[in-house]
Amino acid sequence: MPKPVVAIVGRPNVGKSTIFNRIVGERVAIVEDMPGVTRDRIYSSGEWLHRDFNLIDTGGIELSEEPLLVQMREQAELAIKEADVIIFIVNGREGITGADEEVVKMLFKSKKPVVLGVNKIDNPEQREKIYEFYSLGLGEPIPISGSHGLGLGDLLDEVIKHFPDEEEDPYDEDTIRISLIGRPNVGKSSLVNALLGEERVIVSNIPGTTRDAIDTPFERDGQEYVLIDTAGMRKRGKVYETTEKYSVLRSLKAIERSDVVLVVLNAEEGIIEQDKKIAGYAHEAGRAVIIVVNKWDAIAKDDKTMQNFEQKIRDHFLFLSYAPILFTSAKLKQRLQHILPTVQKVSENHNLRVSTSVLNDMVMDAVAMNPTPTDKGKRLKINYATQVAVGPPTFVFFVNEPELMHFSYQRFLENRLRQTFEFEGTPIKIFARKKSD
- The structural domains of the chain, with segments of one domain joined by +, span 5-161, 176-348, 356-434
Task: Round to the nearest angstrom and report the end-to-end CA distance of the chain.
Answer: 39
Which pLDDT tens digit goes with each residue over 213-232?
Answer: 567 888 888 899 988 865 44
How long a stretch of residues is the chain?
Answer: 437
Ligand-binding site membership of 60 (annotated): yes
Determine if residue 366 is labeled as part of a ligand binding site: no
CA–CA gap between residue 177 and residue 20 (Å, rounded): 31
Average pLDDT for 281-298? 91
Residue 436: exposure state from Cβ atoms within 10 A (0-12, 13-18, ≥19): exposed
378 marked as binding residue: no
| Predicted pLDDT of residue 64 | 60
- pLDDT, tens digit, for every residue of 141-174? 999 998 888 899 999 999 999 998 776 667 788 8
Q: Is 119 annotated among the ligand-binding residues?
A: yes
Tell whether 187 is in a known binding site: yes
**Rounded distance, CA 420 to CA 188, Å?**
34
Q: Is 189 annotated as a binding residue?
A: yes
Q: Is 48 annotated for ligand binding?
A: no
Is 183 annotated in a binding site? The answer is: yes
- 15 labeled part of a ligand binding site: yes
Residue 349 is assigned to a ligand binding site: no
Q: What is the pLDDT of residue 60?
A: 54
Is the pLDDT higher at 348 or at 34? 348
Ligand-binding annotation for 16, yes or no, is yes
Share of the chain above pLDDT 70, in %: 82
The answer to whether 250 is annotated as binding is no
**Superfamily of domain 5-161 in the CATH hierarchy:** P-loop containing nucleotide triphosphate hydrolases (3.40.50.300)
| Percent of the chain topping pLDDT 90 | 37
Residue 59, marked binder: yes
The amino acid at residue 435 is K
pLDDT for 386: 95
Is 393 annotated in a binding site? The answer is no
343-402 pLDDT, tens digit each:
999 999 999 999 999 999 999 999 999 999 888 889 999 999 999 999 999 999 999 988
The answer on whether 232 is annotated among ligand-binding residues is yes
* pLDDT at 63 > cutoff 80: no
Whether 296 has a binding-site annotation, put simply, is yes
Q: Phi/psi of residue 275, each to 5°?
A: -60, -45
Contact 420, 395 (CB under 8 A): no
39 — pLDDT class (breaks 50, 70, 90): very low
Q: Is 14 annotated as a binding residue?
A: yes
For residue 177, which of 253, 249, 257 has the smallest C-alpha distance? Answer: 257
CA distance 435 to 176: 37
57 is annotated as contributing to ligand binding: yes
Asked whether residue 259 is marked as a ligand-binding residue, the answer is no
Would you say the CATH fold of 356-434 matches that of 176-348? no
**For residue 189, what pLDDT is reported?**
76
Q: Residue 239 pLDDT > 50, yes or no?
A: no
d(CA 96, CA 327): 56
Q: Do the annotations mark residue 12 as ligand-binding?
A: yes
> Does residue 212 have a pLDDT over 70?
no
Fold of 356-434: GMP Synthetase; Chain A, domain 3 (3.30.300)
Which stretch of DSSP H or E encloses residue 52? Answer: strand 51-57
Global pTM value: 0.69
Q: Known binder of ligand: residue 72?
A: no
CATH of 176-348, one of 3.40.50.10740, 3.40.50.300, 3.40.462.40, 3.40.640.10: 3.40.50.300
Mean pLDDT of the chain: 82
The 10 Å Cβ neighbour count of residue 338 is: 15
The residue-averaged pLDDT of 300-325 equals: 91
What's CA 374's distance to the chain center, in Å? Answer: 36
Q: Any known ligand binding at 400?
A: no
Q: Is 149 annotated as a binding residue?
A: no
13 is in an annotated binding site: yes
Q: Read off the pLDDT band of 1 (50, 70, 90).
A: low
Span 413-427, pLDDT tens digits: 999 999 999 899 999
